[in-house]
Every structure is written in structure tokens, then in C-alpha cells.
Structure 1
Amino acid sequence: MVKFWRVLFPRRRVWRRRIVFIAFITFICVTVVRFLFPVPQRPKWADTAVTPSERADAVKEVFVEAWDGYYKHAFPNDELHPLLNTYGNSRNGWGASAVEALGTAIVMDLPEVVDPILDFIPTINFHKTRSTVDLFETTIRYLGGMLSAYDLLTGPMHHLARKSDGVDALLTQSQGLADLLKVAFDTRTGVPRKKVFFNNPQGNKDDANSVAAVGTLILEWCRLANLTGQPEYRQLVEKAMKPLLNPRPRWTEPIPGILGNWVNVDTGLITDAWGGWGAGGDSYYEYLIKIFAYEQSRYTAHKDRWVMAADSVIKKMAETPDGTDLKFISSSDGPLLAHQTGHLTCFAGGNFILASKVLNDTRYLDFGLELTRSCHETYIRTATRIGPETIRWSPEELNEKQLQELEENGYATLHASFSLRPETMESYYYAWRATRDPKYREWAWDAFVAIVTHCKMRNSLAPINNVNTVRWNWKGGRQESFLFSELLKYTYLIFAEVSTFYQFNYVGENEWVFNTEGHLLKVEKPW
């Protein structure tokens, strides 16, 4: 080998070796850079898909590609890590992406995806996990996903229920999981613990839970109670909600209807006054109106709390940044406002629009559309046309670059990442269904194309580090399971007119409501 090398590169021509070595190292470096920072590629169908049906097909194509990537490299684990095509188990290793994808595959009428998931779900052993179990996350993802699939496959999409034992297992597994989760409610007040051990109840000692985590159980557990005929499931969550419907002490509700974010599970007392419609409180407010839509005769107190909170948002928590016509919901610290908001809060536009139809009140429709338009503006003002994680419209604690952005846009980006969040698309969905104004379809298409362009990585979608960077954008993290259950489902339903029977604001009676993870549940009484 040495002789061969010297024949090719004799000592008197050492420079040739150096050139070859430099070229080799350059090739390796370029390959690594191109792998880590691929050039964004606008999808071919972005400009050719014009009609609603063509765009719905494009969304379905992206769903199938993302599913195939997960199924090949990560199934039956929880989620795919797109960068290296590895997997993670952030949701106890029970196959979160598969369970969350099922409802969307049913809605999209994809038996080739539905069948293997129906085969898989009966094999899940919910007793087996290496980590604590998060009651909130498990309820909205697993319980909500299985109950939704059961409702769909025993209802309007029954033609996909080619394996009756697999459909029956959806309800059986839901009940079995809920029976395991009941240990979380074993507290003095009935307010559940946030995380629990199934096999070691003595280890369940967390005394604090978030208002969102406590208040975002009632829809799924009530649906389970109705399907199984077991009122205990309903009674558990109704008891858990009581301290949130009658909050104490009084100082933790400085703005009417707006609670602090944390509750003590042993006393039932709210422990702070930092709250709002963002992280920590968001889906509590979302479920107040949704459980009323689910069963209006039983949950008027929840509706009244939603109205109180919503009116406070309109009067006291919605802010218009200087020099703009935008409107955002700020979080609060007691009676003061933080002058910032996040992508999570962009669900509120859709929630107000839903409430406007449930309550037949146009005030909430107008306000919801205004919130939705403002979130749209945060998308189209970035280099990628994707909205950032957090924005702020007060100059405190901003650097020079952020202050310049504040002057130009009326707000500055605090955290520029995008983790495949669905909240803005969710509000586009409600806005389109409520108004039938085609601009909302165009907004949704623009956002969808941008997300695929900048987040696509081989056969999956990945979070990006900076929505204001086009070329050198780090793509890492995990392909969250809510990509399947929320982002792609809402986008598809915006364009898939054929699926009218479970759409919001259907002509006639509304028979379905979405849980906070995008899973469709059949209501007790249509509205």
C-alpha cells in the first residue's frame, strides 16, 4: 500500500498529496454542512395545487410521507427524531405518534395507515413504562386519540372498520388506561397529581399541578363515561374541576375569570396570580366552552366561567402594540400585564370563534377573527413566513436587534423557534368554517407551504431553530406526535369539503367537538 501511494505521489510531488487531502476534507465538510443545513426546497405542488381538492391531496401526501418516515424508523416508539432517523419515547413508549395519527388517517380515508395502527393498539401494555405518567398528556394524546378513533369508526367512517376486534379494543384499551390513571385522583381534594407512578403509589407526592393540566381532562373522561356507562370517570373529573370553578384565595383571580397557573392538589387552593391564555392555563379556558358544547344542559357553570374569562380578555388582557392595528392576548402577573404572548395563545382566535357559534354571540366572532389575523401577521413578517414561539411589544430586556424589530413591527421576537405548533392553523380552520371567506384558505395554504419548505427533512418534518433564518437553519429535535393529530388534520379539513359531517359549523346540527390535541369526539347532544 505504501509503495502504491508513493508511485502515485512521489516525494518530489508532495503538493499533490496535499491537494488531494484538502479536497477530501473539503468534500467531507461540505457533505456534513449540506446534511445539517439543507437548502430549503419549495415543494413542487406548492404552485400547481390550486383547487381545494388538489390542496387537500397535497396535505394528505405530506401526512403519508411523515407517517412512512415514522413507521420505518421509529414505530412502535413515541416519535421520530428526523435528523438521524432515530426515535424517542417522551410519552412513555406506548407509540404516541401511531395513536395520534389514527384519527387523521381515518379522516383522510387511508386504510393502509389505519389497519396497522388498529393492529398495534391492542398490543400496547399501559402497565409497562420506565418513567412517570403525565395525566394531562396521556389523557389528551392516548385517551383522546383512541376515543376519537372509536367514535369515528363506529360512526361516519365505519367502512374503515374492517377489523371489528381492533375497533372494540380502542374502547377496551381506553378504559384500561383510565383505570390506571385513576390513581392520580387519589388526593385529599380530588384535584389530581400531575405525574404518577402506576406501580408505586407511595411515590406520587407532587403537590402542585397546573390549571391547564387539571382543567383539560373533563372532555375525554366524560366521553369515556358515556361510552362505557361508568359514571365514575365523569365524577372524578367533575370533582377535580370544582376548585377551578370556585377559585380561592381571592387574590389569585385578580382579573375576573383569569386564574393563576398553579393549584395545590392537597388543599385545592390556587397558589399564584400569574396566569392567562398561554402555557399553564390555555386549555383550561379552551375546555370551559368545549365541555358546554359537549353537553349544554349539564355544564352551564363552565360556560359562565368561560364568558367571564373571555370578557376579561376583551376588556383588560387584549393589547394593541403601538403603531399597529394588531391585537394580542397578554399574560398577566396579578393585575399587571406582561406585554408578551406566544404561539400557544394563537389557539384563542379559534376558541372565540367556536364560542360565538355555541353561544350565538357575534362579539366573540369578531374578536376571534381579529386575534386570528394578528397571529397571521406574525407569520408573514418573518423570513420563512412561519410564526415565532414568543413575541413581546414592550422594550424592557430587549437587545439592540430586538429593539429595531420592535420599531419596525410593533413587536419583537423573544424566541424564534418553531416546533411544528398547530395553534395558528387551528384558528384558520375555525375562521374558514365560520365565515367561508376564501382568504383563510389562502392563509392556511401559505403557512402550510412555508412549513413544508423549511421544516422538511427527508421523509419527515422537523422543528427549526429560527423562523427568521432561511439558509442556515438548524433542524433538530423530534417530530412531535401532534403533527399528525393537529397540524395536518386542521390543514386537511380546511380544504377537504367532502368531510362535512364532522366539520365545525356544519350545515345543520354540530355533532362533534375537537379536544385540545385535535381529536374529534362525538358530543352528547348536537348543538
Structure 2
Amino acid sequence: MAFNVPRHLPDFGSQNRDLEDHAWSSLRGAGARVTGIFEKDSLPMYKDKPFTYTPSYKNRPLWRKKRFFGGITMFVVFALYMLGFWSSPEDKSQPATAKSAWSWIGMSNSDKVDWEERRQAVVEAFQVSWDAYERYAWGYDEYHPIAKTGKNMAPQGLGWIIVDSLDTMILMNQTSRLQHARQWISESLTWEQNQDVSTFETTIRMLGGLLSAHYLQTEFPNLASLEEDDEGAAGEDLYLEKAKDLADRLLSAFESPSGVPYSSVNLEKFKGIPSHDDQGAASTAEALSVQLEFKYLAKLTGEKYFWDKVEKVMEIADDNNPRDGLVPIYMHPINGEFKGENIRLGSRGDSYYEYLIKQYLQTNKEEPVYQEMWKESLAGVRKHLVTYTEPSGYTIIGERPNGLNKALSPKMDHLVCFYPGTIALAVTGGLTVAEARKLPTWSQQDEDDLQLAHEITQTCWGMYKYMATGLAAEITYFNIANPPLMDGQPHNVPPATFDQDPDASWRKDFIVKSNDQHNLQRPETLESLFYMWRITGDIKYREWGWEMFKSFLEYEAVEDKGGFTSLANANTIPPRTKDNMESFWIAESLKYLYLLFSPDDLLPLDKVVLNTEGHPFPRFSMGPLFSTGWQRKPRDANGDLVGEPTQ
């Protein structure tokens, strides 16, 4: 078989490149910046904030592939090899135990699926991504794979990509790469910088990354083992020391009149800074999704003030008397009250709900208040946000932008796709369904909730299948009835699979607007596939993940060993590229794929919790030092605070 170089490679040497880049940067919009905080530097994409993309006319297509052999396209892999996308083999880490997936021109030709081989393909995708960053932008907080440049958010860099990637390297046993990262952290990383940073993003990525690296290297010393990690060696507690220093600075954000953290903090000055947008209000998800990190740090250090500060915010939120467990997407640090009536599980709301159940699991189910709040919120989602599409009947989670008494918007951020996996985790506590069903506490409600998780996961998979590249848009809208059908009402049963005929009926249910067609390498659907596979054992979730992975390879790889890039438009072939690699591509997307294809005893779900950036922490008992420092106020039969109005 003869192979030809792909015809649709982008023209990276175009004389119009500078003009295009200038237009691109001016068209990116304020959504890519932390407005009012970074005057000169932009922050890598907020995890919980969708980027409302203003399309440029820069067209940098990659390629198309059409022939498949053994699961990966021989055509593309060979072409990438010939064009220099991948490095020549070199001993940069411990030898892989499995046959290399891309060592020649494709996967094995066996009819039997080899999940270890597929897992190794993910490892190689990580190596491609990391080595490109290491080659072209080492030490920088941002990496632009097409331009092959980096950029810092602070004068000396914050280790944004390096720290966020630590535990992925440990899990994948990338010893030499981890050694280089650890050396940079030891010699170059300092928090003593006059720089304002996002309290939330820095907590989940930097603090979370350091703490998970400490956990894995301490509890699993055979993973990417380093000599200086030996007991008593210098720098043994490097990750924990850096984490403690950072946390002390971040805790300054909680010095508000109410105890609700300010959106930002100046690292050098130990000073919290109110948001310059939204009249100083903070995103609810930001204020209420830092508890896992600080509680684990408190357990490690014995410093109770870390625990107390972040736990207080949970009490403040609950005292606002949210209706049916659903909270508006803004809180104000001055008075501790919710602001506005916008209710959604997408941006600025998402991880609040995630951290309710995960706080309960983190402390070995010793804080039942958080399970109670989770169950209330799930019942509220069913009552107010779950609806069904037309004509096919897919289950979606909409939004109530003007309050629970106003119209339902049939809009789903890709961010919402974390939710089905979290539901499954909440239902079983991390056990398999087979194990959980044997428990005396198992109920019909658990069966119903698990079915809801299956249905939403299918919809999220449809968001990928709808797009030309097989990579989901940032935001998808849906056709729904007027008035919308709500949870429990009769509706059509959607097809089990997505017919790829462009005129297939199911496509009438999905709507993607022009400004929402970008794909930012987000992990949420992969996250849910991982949970759904581990908990239900349904092989389709693994297969869906493999299909997504092949689309990432096909449409986001960059020539000349550049790694992988986000897409400005994922609904056209060739796609338009965005020239940015998000840190969560490595910290979450590739990690969840790796775990999806791994044996179930790697990070067992009944032993760990993963934070909202995919960093694993151990479950632990609180012991005599820690306790839930608050109790819910009395409520009536409707769940409302006695004598107080509902939000």
C-alpha cells in the first residue's frame, strides 16, 4: 500500500500569518481574559467558564483521513511520522511494558481489542504533548503549539502546565519527564511574585496538582520513582512545602467581610482582590469548589485553619436557603448572599454540585450534611432542569437564566457533561453497581438516578457525534417542546446509536451556533465515561472514549512535533485551529482516557476522590482534630428555612 502526504496541511509559512495572528488576538474577546485582574497577560482557559468565541477568518486546517486499519488510521499515522510530528524513539522514560501503539504505522490487526495497547496509545499522546511543550515553551504557563511559543502569566512563571501535569506523569510512570518537572519546581518555582491570580483556578490546578503529586509519590513510590524521594533525602517534601506556601497566600482571599472568598489574590502581598466584574461578586462554583484541596492539606499538616475557612463558606451558602438545593451562579463576598437568579450546572455553577458529594466521600462519609445537600440538589435538577428533546427524546439538563419560575433554556455547556459521572459516583459511592445493589440501602431511587446518568451520558456523546470532526462544541442547544416536557413525563425513547447519515432524524434535536463551535480539549465527557465504565462495566463507554481519542489524534495534532491544539471550529473539515494547548488537556483529558483504558485497581473509586481538575486525593477519616463545624438550620416540610424566605 502506498502512502501520500496529506493534501490539507495548513500553510504555516504564509506571508499573511502576521496579519492573521494580529486579527486573531484582537478578535478573541474578553472571555479569554480575567478582566480587571491581569492587565497584560491572559489566563489559560477557565475550567468552569465557557469561552464565547468570536470566530476569526484564519484557516489553518490539519488533514482528513479516511482509511482505518486495526483501530487507528495508517494513513495519518504514517504521514505524521514522515512529517516529523513525533520524535524519533528515545529513552526519555522507563520502558513501556506494552507494545508501542504508534511504533510503526498503526495498531495491531487483531480482531480482539487490546485495551493495554490503547492505553499505551494515550501514553504516547501525552509524550507528544509534553515533549512539544518541553521543547518549545519549557517553564512557561501557556503553550501555543502552532506558533511553538510560550507565555507567562507572572514575571517568573507559575508552573501552570508543569504542576498541573505532575500526577499524570506519575500515573503514566514517566520518570525522566517527572524528574525534569520536579527540578524546575525545586529551582525555579516561587510564589513570591507581585501577581494577581484566580483563587479558584490556582487552587484546583496548582494546589491540587502539588497535593496529588505528594499523595501519589508518598503512597505509590513505585510509580515514576525518584531517588530523592527516598526517606530522609533532601527535598523529600518538596510538593507539600510548595503547597503549604501557596495555600497560605490563597487563604488571604477568604479575608472578606462574609468569609466568602474574593475571586483573586495577590500572591506576594497576601491580599484578596474582589472581582472587577459583576459588582464584585464571585462565581458560586469558584467560592464553593476549593474545599477538597484545603481539607486535604489541613489533614496533611494538622493546620485546622485551612479546614475552618473553606468549611465556613458551605454554611454561608446553605444559610441562603437555596430553593430545592439549586444555587444562583454568583455569591457576594461582602454580604455572603447569592446574587441574581441564574441557575445552571454549566459555567460558574458546575463544580459546586460536584463538591457536595465529593466532600461527603472524601471524609469517609463522616459528614452526612453534604450528602443531604447533594440529594436535595439532584432532586431539584430533576424537578427544574431535566427535559427531553424533539423529535428523538434525548435527556438534557437545561438552564433557568431568569430564575426557577421563568422559562427553561435548552442550552448545555460541555461543562455540564461532568454531571452524569458524578451522579453515578454518588449512587454507588464508588462501588460497582453489582456491589452497590447488594447493600441494604439500595433503592428504586438509586436505580432511577443511575438511569438518568446513562441518559445524560448518551446526550453528551451525541454532542460529539453531531460535529463534523467528532469533537464536541463548547455549547450545544437543543430542540424541545413548548412547554418543555419535564422529568417523568412521557417522551420518545432516543435511538441507541447515532446514525451518521447527515440527514438522520436525530440531528434535528441538536443545534450548534456559529460562536460555539470551538473545541477546547475539555475533559468533562471523558470524565463521565471513566466513571460510568468503572461503575457500570458497560463496554460502550470505553468504546466511546476510544472514538473520541481517535478524533483528537486526527484533528488536533500539529505538524513538526508541535503537540496538540484546541480548535476554533470543530464543525468543519479541515477544522480551524486555535493554537493553544490547555493545561487540562494533560491534567484531565489524557488522564481520564488513560484511566478509562486501565485496570480498575488503578485509583479505585471507593478509595480516592478526584478534584474538579482531575487530581486524585485519598479518602480519610477526620479523626479527633477535625469535625463538621456547622449544622443546618431547621427547615419545614418543603425544605425551606423556618421563618426565612427562599432564595
Q: TM-score range by the shorter chain?
A: 0.7 to 0.9
Deviations 1:462-495 (A, max 9, x none): 1112221012x22124201111110000001111
The equivalent of 2:569 in structure 1 is 466
Deviations 1:310-337 (A, max 9, x none): 1121232111111113111111120232
The equivalent of 2:62 in structure 1 is 38
Match status 1:279 vs 2:342? no
Where do 1:38-437 residues align within 5 Å? 38-40=62-64, 42=73, 43-44=76-77, 48=107, 50-90=113-153, 93-129=157-193, 131-158=195-222, 160-164=225-229, 165-200=234-269, 204-206=273-275, 207-247=280-320, 253=322, 255-333=323-401, 334-335=403-404, 336=406, 337-358=408-429, 361-394=446-479, 408-414=507-513, 415-437=516-538
For residues 317 and 617 of structure 2, what CA distance do their matches in structure 1 show?
A: 24
In 2, are the aligned partners of 1:355 and 1:364 still within 8 Å (CA)? no
Shift of the 40–267 alpha-carbon distance from structure 1 to 2, 3 Å rule, reads: same
Name the SS for the 1:48 alignment partner. Answer: coil
Match status 1:482 vs 2:584? yes
Shift of the 416–90 alpha-carbon distance from structure 1 to 2, 3 Å rule, reads: farther
The equivalent of 2:598 in structure 1 is 496
Deviations 1:279-332 (A, max 9, x none): 011001000000101014542222111111111212321111111131111111
For residues 554 and 467 of structure 2, what CA distance do their matches in structure 1 show?
A: 14
For residues 66 and 304 of structure 1, what CA distance do their matches in structure 2 show?
A: 41
In 2, are the aligned partners of 1:119 and 1:166 still within 8 Å (CA)? no
In 2, are the aligned partners of 1:260 and 1:275 still within 8 Å (CA)? yes
CA RMSD of aligned residues (A): 2.7
> Could you tell me the TM-score, scaled by structure 2's length?
0.70
For residues 386 and 147 of structure 2, what CA distance do their matches in structure 1 show?
A: 42
1:411: how far off? 2.3
Shift of the 269–36 alpha-carbon distance from structure 1 to 2, 3 Å rule, reads: same
Deviations 1:349-384 (A, max 9, x none): 111111111285333222111111110111112211
In 1, are the aligned partners of 2:59 and 2:576 still within 8 Å (CA)? no
Name the SS for the 1:76 alignment partner. Answer: coil
In 2, are the aligned partners of 1:350 and 1:426 still within 8 Å (CA)? yes
For residues 141 and 230 of structure 1, what CA distance do their matches in structure 2 show?
A: 21
1:109: how far off? 1.1
Shift of the 35–328 alpha-carbon distance from structure 1 to 2, 3 Å rule, reads: closer
In 2, are the aligned partners of 1:405 and 1:411 still within 8 Å (CA)? no
In 1, are the aligned partners of 2:478 and 2:509 still within 8 Å (CA)? yes
1:242: how far off? 1.6
Shift of the 203–115 alpha-carbon distance from structure 1 to 2, 3 Å rule, reads: closer
- Segment drifting more, 153-162 vs 306-315: 153-162
1:419: how far off? 0.5
- Segment drifting more, 298-307 vs 285-294: 298-307
Match status 1:515 vs 2:586? no
1:520: how far off? 0.6
Shift of the 183–384 alpha-carbon distance from structure 1 to 2, 3 Å rule, reads: same
- Segment drifting more, 459-468 vs 285-294: 459-468
Deviations 1:229-264 (A, max 9, x none): 11111011011222212225xxxx4x5111111111
Where do 1:427-466 residues align within 5 Å? 427-458=528-559, 459=561, 460-466=563-569
1:124: how far off? 4.5
Name the SS for the 2:237 alignment partner. Answer: helix
Shift of the 273–181 alpha-carbon distance from structure 1 to 2, 3 Å rule, reads: same
For residues 344 and 422 of structure 1, what CA distance do their matches in structure 2 show?
A: 8
> Could you tell me the TM-score, scaled by structure 1's length?
0.86
Deviations 1:24-82 (A, max 9, x none): xx997599799932324555359625410000000000000100001111111112111
Deviations 1:93-148 (A, max 9, x none): 21111111110111111112111112222234443445311110010001100100
In 2, are the aligned partners of 1:80 and 1:478 still within 8 Å (CA)? yes
Shift of the 38–27 alpha-carbon distance from structure 1 to 2, 3 Å rule, reads: closer
Shift of the 297–432 alpha-carbon distance from structure 1 to 2, 3 Å rule, reads: closer
- Segment drifting more, 373-382 vs 127-136: 127-136
For residues 56 and 116 of structure 1, what CA distance do their matches in structure 2 show?
A: 23
1:84: how far off? 0.6
In 1, are the aligned partners of 2:204 and 2:613 still within 8 Å (CA)? yes
Q: Which amino acid in structure 2 is aligned with residue 153 of structure 1?
A: Q
The equivalent of 1:15 in structure 2 is none
For residues 274 and 127 of structure 2, what CA distance do their matches in structure 1 show?
A: 42
1:390: how far off? 0.8
For residues 13 and 244 of structure 2, what CA distance do their matches in structure 1 show?
A: 53
For residues 588 and 542 of structure 2, what CA distance do their matches in structure 1 show?
A: 16
For residues 200 and 69 of structure 1, what CA distance do their matches in structure 2 show?
A: 34
For residues 274 and 517 of structure 1, what CA distance do their matches in structure 2 show?
A: 24
Corresponding pairs, count: 482
1:406: how far off? 10
1:91: how far off? 7.5
Give 5+ residue unaligned stretches, structure 1: 1-25, 397-403, 505-509
For residues 289 and 97 of structure 1, what CA distance do their matches in structure 2 show?
A: 28
% of aligned pairs identical?
A: 29
Q: Which amino acid in structure 2 is aligned with residue 48 of structure 1?
A: M
For residues 504 and 451 of structure 2, what CA distance do their matches in structure 1 show?
A: 28
Q: Which of structures 1 and 2 has the bigger CA Rg?
A: 1
Deviations 1:179-238 (A, max 9, x none): 111211111111110112234467734431111001111000000000111111101101
For residues 395 and 293 of structure 1, what CA distance do their matches in structure 2 show?
A: 36
1:161: how far off? 3.8
1:158: how far off? 4.3
For residues 580 and 14 of structure 2, what CA distance do their matches in structure 1 show?
A: 25
Q: Which amino acid in structure 1 is aligned with residue 455 of structure 2?
A: E
For residues 565 and 190 of structure 2, what CA distance do their matches in structure 1 show?
A: 28
In 1, are the aligned partners of 2:147 and 2:579 still within 8 Å (CA)? no
Shift of the 102–27 alpha-carbon distance from structure 1 to 2, 3 Å rule, reads: closer
